[in-house]
Amino acid sequence: AANKTFTMIKPDAVQDNYIGGITQMIEEGGFRVVALKKTRLTPERAGKFYEVHKERPFYNDLVNYMSSGPIVAMILEKDNAVADFRKLIGATNPAQAEEGTIRKKYAKSVEANAVHGSDSDENAQIEGDFFFGEDERF
Ligand code: CMP
């Protein structure tokens, strides 16, 4: 699974009509879209997706925010996908994101930071499985 990662375009970026702009940066970054859907997380599902952050002070806000509107989920393919995608999206805090990154261009705040990217091969697998069946991957 070292050549796959998982991403979500978050509610603020979907609301602001950035699906196309962000997906273009992803494709131009050398990633192929293996699976893609627009959907909305219930608070329960958002809570489960971000369960690893349950003890963090920002957890409740994060769950509310991530269930506040539709998101776009994708599985992406590229050599060294997890690390290369984290480089493409930039730092979690957009104030620290480098020029040319997705968050530099589209993120508004640490929470509303436009996109999610998996932090390990193991989590890429878990997160992709959270949204997609085998018959939705090509
Ligand atoms: P993401 O990469 O999806 O993983 C966890 C998310 O929690 C992160 O992006 C942010 O949206 C959010 N997050 C991380 N740190 C903070 C923070 N200090 N305050 C608020 N939200 C945060």
Residues flanking ligand 1, CB < 6 Å: 53, 58, 62, 92, 110-111, 113, 116
d(CA 100, CA 16): 19
Determine whether the annotation assigns residue 132 to a binding site.
no
Pairing of strands 115-117, 32-39: unpaired
H/E run at residue 75: strand 71-77
Please report which confidence band the pLDDT of residue 102 belongs to, taking 50, 70 and 90 as the band edges.
Answer: very high
47 CB-near residues (< 8 Å, 6+ apart): 54, 63
Tell whether 12 is covered by a domain: yes
Amino acid present at 134: E
Tell whether 49 is covered by a domain: yes
Catalytic residues: 116
d(CA 117, CA 31): 13
Domain range for 127 is: 4-132
pLDDT 10s digits, 106-134: 999 999 999 999 999 999 999 999 999 99
Determine whether the annotation assigns residue 78 to a binding site.
no
Count of domains forming the chain: 1
Tell whether 138 is covered by a domain: no
Q: What is the pLDDT of residue 23?
A: 99
pTM of the model: 0.96
CATH of residue 92: 3.30.70.141
